[in-house]
Structure 1
């Protein structure tokens, strides 16, 4: 599996884990007093989603730039 497919697949699994963590966070918050680390735990997959999402967003622009550069040479 090449790097782009690996990043795309990990981005999907990160989104699933983030969704489950947010749901668990809401379930714990409904119980009353909550430790701060439980809320901060959802930030880990969120930051990973940010970086992988930005990479996936830029991929088409990089491909277009590389193609234009090859044609212009």
Structure 2
């Protein structure tokens, strides 16, 4: 278990990641529906996916740091 002081940070990071995932799913669906040209759609979806990964990365790094602190018993 981890310190209760870490819970708000942990929940905030998870909430932000969930929000980013929902926005990505929504944007991906819009692109898929609006672009008729398969080649353009594929490139646009790939770019969107890359942007999604770039946006998520800092939060994933913070989660990894937090998990490391939890495993080492940081309170």
TM-score interval, smaller chain: 0.5 to 0.7
Task: Supply the distance in 2 between the matched residues of 1:23 and 1:46 (Cα, whole angstroms).
Answer: 17
Q: What TM-score, normalized to structure 2?
A: 0.56
Runs of 4+ with >6 A deviation = none
Query: How large is the RMSD of aligned CA atoms in angstroms?
Result: 3.4
Segments of structure 2 that go 5 or more residues without pairing to the other structure are 1-6
Q: What TM-score, normalized to structure 1?
A: 0.57
Q: Report which of the two structures shows the higher radius of gyration computed on alpha carbons.
A: 1
The total of aligned residue pairs comes to 67
1:12-48 CA distances to partner (integer Å, 9 max, x unpaired)? 111111111122222233x12859xx55455443312
